[in-house]
Each structure stands twice: as C-alpha cells, then as structure tokens.
Structure 1
Amino acid sequence: MSLSSLTLGIYVATVLVPLALSVLVYYLLFDPLRHFKGPFIARFTNAYAVYHAVRRRLHLQTFSDLQQYGSVYRQGPDRLVFNTVTALHDIYLDPRATKGRAYRYSSLEGQENMLNTIDRQRRRQKLAWPTLSSIGMNKFIIWWNKAKFNAFRTLLTRIINTRVALPRDAKNDLYSIAATEAGKNSENLSRAEMSEHWGEATFLTTIPGGMTTSSTLTAVFFYLSRHPAAHRRLVSEIRTTFPDAQDIRSGPLLAGCTSLRAIIDECLRISVPTTSMPWREEETVLNRHSSTKPFIVGGHVIPPGTMVVVNTYCIKHNEAYFSDRFAFQPERWLDEGNSKTLRRAFVPFGIGEATDESCVAKTLWHFDLEQAPGEAGRLGGGSPEAKDKARARADEFQLYDGIVSDHDGPNLVVTKRKC
C-alpha cells in the first residue's frame, strides 16, 4: 500500500467515518423533526426536492408524497409540507410567520426583488448541525434559475432598449411614470439606475405582470376547447349579456356572468397559476412575540428554524375539499353554500380575483374556438404513454414546476364568430 493510500485510509477512518456516524445518530435520535414521516433521504438533504424541481415536477411529487405519508410530511432537513385548511390558516394568517429562507434562492437570475427579499431581517442566528443541503445546493438553485431565464432576459432587454431610445414622455407607460416620479432632469433614466432596479423590473413584468395571467388564460381556453357543453354555456352567457363588445368591462353585468366566474375559478383550482412552494417560518426577531407561545401548525408544535408550507396545487387537489379532484367541473362553484366551503381551501396565492374576466369575455364575444384536430390538438394535455404516470391524464392541462406554472400549448382553431 502506498503512503498516499495509507494517509487517505487513516483520514477516512479517523475523520469522515466518525463525522458521518455522528450526523446519522443526530438525525435518527435527536433531530426535532425525526417523528415526521417522509422520504429517508429528505432527513439529510434538500437535494430530494431539488431533483424533482429540476425535472419541473416538484408539485406532482409533493402531491404523491402527501398521498403516501398523510396530511403532513418532511420534505427536507428543516422543511414540513402540510395539506389541510387548518394548516393553511395556521401558517398564512399567523403574524409570526414570515417568508422562509428558501425565498432567497427563488430569484429568476440571482438578483434581489420583492419576491426573494425576506420580510424581516433576522438578528439571531440559529446554530445548526451540518447538512448535505449546505454543500453547494443553494448556489445550484440560483444557477439553474438563471440558466432558464437567459432567453427571456434577452427578449426583455430588447424591449427595454427600444423604449429607452424614445423620449421619456413618448408613451404613457411605466417607464415615463417612473422617470417623472424620480424627478429626473435628464430625458431618460440612466443605465446604472435601470441596472440597479433590474431584478424588481423583471419580477414585476414576469410574475404578477404577465405570466400568472397568461397561465390562467391558457388553462381556461384549454379546458373550454375540451368541454364543448361548458364552452357553449359560456358563449351564450357572454353574447346574450353584452350586445356589443365595448360593453364588456368591470361592473354589474360582468359580475353577473356566473358561468364565466365559475369557469375561471375552476381553472384556477385545477390548473394553479403557481406551483412554487410559499415557505414560511416563525419570526423570532427581538422577541416580537412571546417566546413561550409555541408556533402550532395543524396541531403540530413547529420547532424554531423549521420552514412550513401548503402547496397550492396539492390542497386544491385534496379530495377532502374537492371531490373528483382531477375533473373539470365549474358547476361546483355555482352552489352558493358549497362554494363558501370550497373557498376556504381555494388559495389562488397572488392572483385570486385579479384575473381579468373581461379578457376571456371579449375573446369569446368575438371568436369561436375549438381543439385543433389530430396530434396537434393533444398538445398541452397528458398522455397515457407518458413515462411519468402523473402526467397520464389526457384531459388535464399539464403544468411544469417553476416560480410560475409553465405549460405547453394548447393548439386551438380560432375563427371569427358567425353570428
């Protein structure tokens, strides 16, 4: 045996093996979350969730895990996923619950914005045992988000450069308003100022400003194209309610379109605008709240430093609240008594009533639409031949995990209305 091999063997025997054993003993015997069920590997590393996130199916795996482990399970060394209305209210209505540390790695390109900025700065650091999740995992997440975003950044840069080339007041848009409010003497905002606010701008234009809305609208048209009866009812409601397209605007008439609202709500339920995990954890800064009062979620006392979440896709497919959960049934929202119960678990998270009903109404006032014929028309739905069995339902609009739900298709035939 060579000297280098002997040295390596001694190092492994005296350092690495004892360290590995001590970490294993801690997680099996002393870890405060050891009593929660979940995948064994998730006790030690967040790589379990990252693996499925990279495959853009974390929401599907989370749903599957909840079926296996129950209404709460452990998804990482310091992460618990819940799937009940009680937990939903415990987490998101508790003033002590602030954004979890996971938000720091949710940036589209590693820059700070309203999404990934933690609500309050923490003054006290928690001494934690080493976990495999700390070995490059967070940098990997940021790199992955940036890689996915490069193409969109190029397009957005081109749009911005085109606008900046025009005078400040050439258009009544966000750029002109921002420049005016900033009290600038110069004709345009400087490149340095624009670069400083790039993260905020990309967040506003992608997530709340466009991607969530486009995701919802495409889901609406996908399901209408595959459910002719619902399509006919909605078209009839819109075209009899509004004699002219110019009359379609916010107000009593639009609010009275019950089929329209029911269909949009059902699409927000079955095809959520965001599949991401809105992690929360207990805020303990400066004893803002009494340290003697435990943070309880779903009947479980949550140890300090633990992140908790309710995934919107999972709770809106929970059979306890939504029967026949994968079926497109807008009529479930038309029963007023039943609707009130359903809305307790609805949680659109960041879109809700803001969906522009007038966009759907105006489209269907002007146009007829149907599913494209042949193979092209299958785009957007699942496939019985899919390797991922969670994507086998042909009539389910397939979502791909990300900060905002991504999708393919649908392919539709759109024609101008005949009457």
Structure 2
Amino acid sequence: MLAPRRFWVAGTKEYLAVGEDLIQSQCIIVYSYRLLLHPLRSYPGPFLAKISDWYGAYNAYRRRIPTITYRDHLTYGPVVRHGPNKLVFNSIQAMRDILQNERLFKSSAYLVTQASPTTFNLFNVMDKHLHRTRRRMIGQGLTEGAVHRFEPVFQDHIVVFLQHHLEASLQDHAVDMSQRCGWLTMDVSGELGFGRGFGLQTDPSSRYVSMMNRRINVYLQFPAIKHTGWEKLLLLILLPKVRRFHRFLSGLIQSRVSQDKNARPDLFSSVSEYKDPETGKGLTRTEIWSEAAFLIPAGGDTVASLLSGVFFYLSRYPRVYERLAAEIRATFVGAEDIKHGPKLSGCNYLRGCLDESLRISPPTGTTLWRDLPLDANANPVIVDGHVIPPGTSLGVNIYAVHHNEAYFASPFDYKPERWLPDESGLTDEQTATMHSAFMAFSKGSRNCAGTAFAYTEASLVVAKTLWYFDFEKYGEDAASAESGRPAVFHMDDQVGSSHAGPMLVFRRRGDAWKVLESQHGPGGL
C-alpha cells in the first residue's frame, strides 16, 4: 500500500497526465476545425496563422507586422489568412470595401488600449455614432483656424530644435534625428493636448516620457493574452513607471485647469465649451483629458517618424536634397517668412518629399482591422469580390499597400516627383489610382483627425532647417539600406513606430544662422 505522501504524488501525476491529454485532444479538435472545416479554410496563408493568433502576436512582439504582411502578400497573393478568423487584403478596392463600409466595425481588439472600461478616445471608441460625435467635437481643436492659432507654439519649439543643431554644428557633433525629432514633436503634442510641453528638448530628466508600447501591439493582434493576468509578474517593474506617468499627466491637467480656458491655444481652449449641434452635449473634463492623452502619441510619434524619414531620404538622395533646398530658399525671403500660409503650402516639391517618405516609411505601417459581426447574415458583405463569412476580421495593411507595384512603380525608390502631376510621367488615371492607394493617415471616417497639424508641423521644421543649415549623413548609422534595395528608412512597428537615426552632420549656411543666437524658445538652451 502506498504511503499517503507517495499516494498523493502519484495521484497528482495521474491527474496532470489526464489534464494534458484533455488539452491535447481539445487542441487537435480546434486546430483540425480551423484547417479543414472553418469558413476561411480555402484562403492561403502561413500555417501557424491558420490555426492560431500567435502568428500575429509573435510578429507584433518582433515589431515586424508591416514587413511580414508585405512578404506574405508576395508569397500567398492579394488575400491572406492572417489568423484563424482574419483576412488581410492588398488592393484599393478592398480598402474601400473595408474602411468605408458602414456594416463593418472597428475591431474590438482596440479595446485593449482603454485606460478604464468606461473611458474611450478616438482611437478605441467602437460605437459609430459616439465616434462621429466625438470626432466633430475634437475636430474643433484641429481645424485650419486652430492650426493658425497654434502656429506660435510650433515656431517656439522649432527655434529650440534649430538651436540644438546650431550647437552641434559649432562643436562638430553628429545629431541623431530620431531623438531630436521625437523630443520636438512630443513637446509640441504636449502643448496641443495640455497647454504645456514636456520639456524634452531642454530637460534630460523629463526624457523618460514614452507612449509607445510593444505590449499593446501584441494585444492588438491577440487580445486574449491581456486577460491571462501575466502582467502581474511584471508588476514591480511596470507599476512605478505607470504611476510616475499618471502623476505627470495629473500635474499637467491641474496646472491647465488652474488657468483661464483661453490662456493657451490648446485642445482645452478649443473644445471645453463646444456643444455638438446634433446632441447638444459637450465633452466632460475626463473625456477632454482622455483625448488629450491620445493626441500625444498620435501626434508626437507620427510627426517624429515622418521627419526622421524625410531627413534620412534627403541625406541619401543628393538630387532631391538640392532641389528641395533650392525651392525653400527661392520661395522665402527670410526665416521669419517661413510660416503657415499660401507660400508654405505652395512648396509642391516639399509636399512631395513628405508624401513620399510617408509612403515608403509610414509612421504606422500596421494592419487596420475591422470586424464583421457574427449576426451579419441579412445581406452578404463583399470585399474585392470575396463574400465574407460573419465573424471575420478584415484588414488592409498600410505598408503592404504602399509597396504594391500595381500602384507604385519601383516602390522602394524615393521619388518625390511621382506626386507632381507635370513630372510623374503618369496618366491621369494612374495618378488617381496612386492617390487612392495612399493611406498614411488611414481612410474613411476613421482617418487621422490631425492630418493638417502633421503636415504643417513637418513642413515648418524641414523648411526652416534647410533655411539655416546644410546637412549630410554621418557614416553608416542604424537606419542603413536594406540589402539589395535602395536606401530605406526602417521603422519597427509598435502602435506607432520605433526607429534610430539618421545621424546627420549640420553646417551653418552663410550668415542666416546668426539670427538663431538671439531667438528664444520655451526653456531656451
């Protein structure tokens, strides 16, 4: 007869063995169904993606969803099964059918970004009516008039940005543009959202602020992982950082609320008293601050990535650099003349440079997912000729579409001229097709509300930099060319993007730079 302890151990092993067998049997049943009987079984795709969302989660953790999706389209075709219940498409027609379809809903996966179950922002709100209402309200702070009111803030922070370049040029130091552009645009986004920047350009102790999150990117691909409770294992590491950031935001909010609502040209001043004409309601303070917190990564990361990409490509394409510098220096009579308005918006080659960088290296190159509800049985939903089964998640990947040779010839070549109708060599139909395929700021009702702000900020930074300085690449930095292809600025996808470089060396241009010595931005140097 077994002793009690030996009997318990033997029983436990037997119990665990039975449990393992049960789990194995369940997995075999589930995986067999997904491979052989599932409504999406006939669609091609990677084997792991057909049976599990771990395929997306793994590649999200590796921060390579855009490039993997592009590769999978080359391997499997224009429609790829990217999860047991997921199809990703690579065509303009699919983009329209998915992103402009009222019967599809933004994927419930985006709910993983909620700070609390009752708090929504433009990024994660599912309800279409609530989204339209919130979009109209927030839009009051992002109109063309708001851009004009906010321009002095742009200009102040750009002065600090340029003064750092001046200091680097005097000391013969190379500049990491990903760092510098990130500090600039996060400070600007802080001003837009909370009426005060983070001081990242001038205060090294503030540079712990970061809104990019690899964990969230993984959850977006496989939401069930968030609910396993694994984060408790990292509580001692994560909690101090979360609390520190929340205290920081609370301080910004309290500081802003203590001022008159019109004290700063920020979101609070634009929307605090606005009443939606349809509902007659305004935003609560909590809702305003939720949107303000969303604007920080949405604005800061997007423009920082755009600027880093533009500076990378200008430093690698001398012909483009020379033409853009000539356009800027011929259009304006002085640095003070470089401001938001007809002259700046009339710099067509500058806009072509921005758009071409957004195309090749989109700040968000991820897949935009939409859900077809399980109860959507009344009329079939058709995407690019495919009848979609209810319960399917549908997506188009920005990076893959932007590199589709059917829409963009030589997709890895940096050619700003392709955006200039008189020089592109394209027919009107081809030009229209190209513009339809461009989706750096998404498409449809969920497109980026801050597009005008992004273009204005980026245009001002690039134009003023080329007015005061010349620059060139410094050695072979981390953002080097991909093997066998033209130089490409690489971005790692993580609910936005992570990138390094380019490393640039700045040279003062004539006497224009001397004006910077007498100018002062927020915090000075």
Work out whether the TM-score is over 0.5: yes
Asked if structure 2 preserves the Cα contact closer than 8 Å seen for 1:82 and 1:309, the reply is yes
- 2:54 corresponding residue in structure 1: 47
Aligned to 1:217: 307
What is the CA distance between 1:211 and its match in structure 2? 1.6
Aligned counterpart, 2:296? 205
* C-alpha deviation, 1:322, in angstroms: 1.0
Distance 1:26 1:335, change over 3 A: same
| Matched residue, 2:215 | none
Q: For residues 79 and 196 of structure 1, what CA distance do their matches in structure 2 show?
A: 32
C-alpha displacement of 1:176: 5.9
Q: Distance in 2 between matches of 1:163 and 1:5?
A: 56
* Residue identity (%): 37
Segments of structure 1 that go 5 or more residues without pairing to the other structure are 122-131, 183-192, 385-391
Against the structure 1 CA distance between its residues 262 and 17, is the aligned structure 2 distance closer, same or farther, given a 3 Å change threshold? closer
- Cα pair 1:380 1:408 within 8 Å, conserved: yes
Whether 1:417 and 2:424 are equivalent positions in the alignment is: no
SS at match of 1:344: helix
Q: Is the contact between residue 315 and residue 473 of structure 2 (CA under 8 Å) also seen in structure 1?
A: yes
Does the alignment pair 1:300 with 2:402? no
1:331 maps to a residue whose letter is E
Alignment match of 1:405 (pick from 488, 497, 505): 497
1:136 counterpart residue number: 225
Give the C-alpha shift of residue 106 in structure 1: 4.1
Pairs within 5 Å for 1:112-261: 112-120=120-128, 136=225, 154=244, 157-158=247-248, 161=251, 164-165=254-255, 167-169=258-260, 171-174=263-266, 177=269, 181=273, 199-207=290-298, 209-261=299-351
Q: Deviations over 1:327-347 (max 9, x none)?
A: 111111223534323111111
- Check whether the contact 2:35–2:51 (CA below 8 A) recurs between aligned residues: no
Q: Specify whether residues 154 and 314 from structure 1 end up closer, same or farther in structure 2 by C-alpha distance, changes over 3 A only.
A: farther
Residue 323 of structure 1 and its aligned partner are, at CA, apart by: 1.4
Q: Pick from 5, 9, 24: which aligns with 2:31?
A: 24
Q: CA deviation at 1:319?
A: 1.3
Q: Distance in 2 between matches of 1:412 and 1:62?
A: 31
Give me the CA root mean square deviation.
Answer: 3.7
Change (3 A) 1:171 1:299: same
Question: What is the CA–CA distance in structure 2 between the aligned matches of 1:159 and 1:240, rounded to whole Å?
Answer: 43
Instruction: Name 2:199's counterpart in structure 1.
Output: none
Using the size of structure 1 for normalisation, the TM-score is 0.79
From the superposition, tell whether residues 16 and 143 of structure 1 become closer, same or farther in structure 2 (CA, over 3 Å): closer
Q: Is the 8 A contact 2:66 2:493 kept in 1?
A: yes
Shift in CA distance, 279/11, structure 1 to aligned 2, threshold 3 Å: closer
Give the distance between the partners of 1:399 and 1:140, measured in 2 at CA.
30
Change (3 A) 1:262 1:82: same
1-structure distance, mates of 2:224, 2:322: 55
- For 1:395, the aligned partner's letter is A
C-alpha displacement at 1:300, in angstroms? 0.9
Structure 2's unaligned 5+ residue stretches are 1-6, 130-220, 275-283, 423-427, 443-447, 512-525
Between structures 1 and 2, the one with greater helix share: 2
Give the aligned partner of residue 387 of structure 1: none
Which residue number corresponds to residue 355 of structure 1? 455
Count residues in correspondence.
Answer: 384
Distance in 2, matches of 1:148 and 1:264, equals 36
Which residue number corresponds to residue 354 of structure 2?
264
Superposed displacement of residue 140, structure 1: 7.4
Question: What is the rounded CA distance, in whole Å, between the counterparts of 1:274 and 1:408 in structure 2?
Answer: 16
- Aligned residue for 1:127? none
The CA deviation at 1:294 is: 0.9
In 1, are the aligned partners of 2:373 and 2:391 still within 8 Å (CA)? no
Letter in 2 for 1:76: G
TM-superposed CA distance for 1:137, in Å, is 5.3
Matches within 5 A, 1:308-387: 308-335=394-421, 337=428, 338-348=430-440, 349=442, 350=448, 354-356=454-456, 357-372=459-474, 374-375=475-476, 378-382=477-481, 384=483
Cα 1:211–1:149 shift into 2, 3 Å: farther
1 CA distance for matches of 2:324 and 2:233?
Answer: 41
**What SS does the corresponding residue of 1:136 show, helix, strand or coil?**
helix
In structure 2, what is the equivalent of residue 274 of structure 1?
364
Residue aligning to 2:69: 62
Shift of 1:398: 0.9
Q: By how many angstroms is 1:155 displaced? A: 6.0
How far apart are the structure 2 equivalents of 1:248 and 1:210?
22
Output the CA distance in 2 between the equivalents of 1:274 and 1:49: 16
Instruction: Report the CA distance between 1:112 and its aligned residue.
Output: 4.0
Query: How far is the alpha carbon of 1:306 from its aligned partner?
Result: 0.6
After superposition, give the CA deviation of every residue in 1:5-55 in whole Å (9 maximum; x if it has no partner).
444445555x44543333233223321111111111212221111111111
* Amino acid of the structure 2 residue aligned with 1:381: S
1:243 alignment partner AA: V
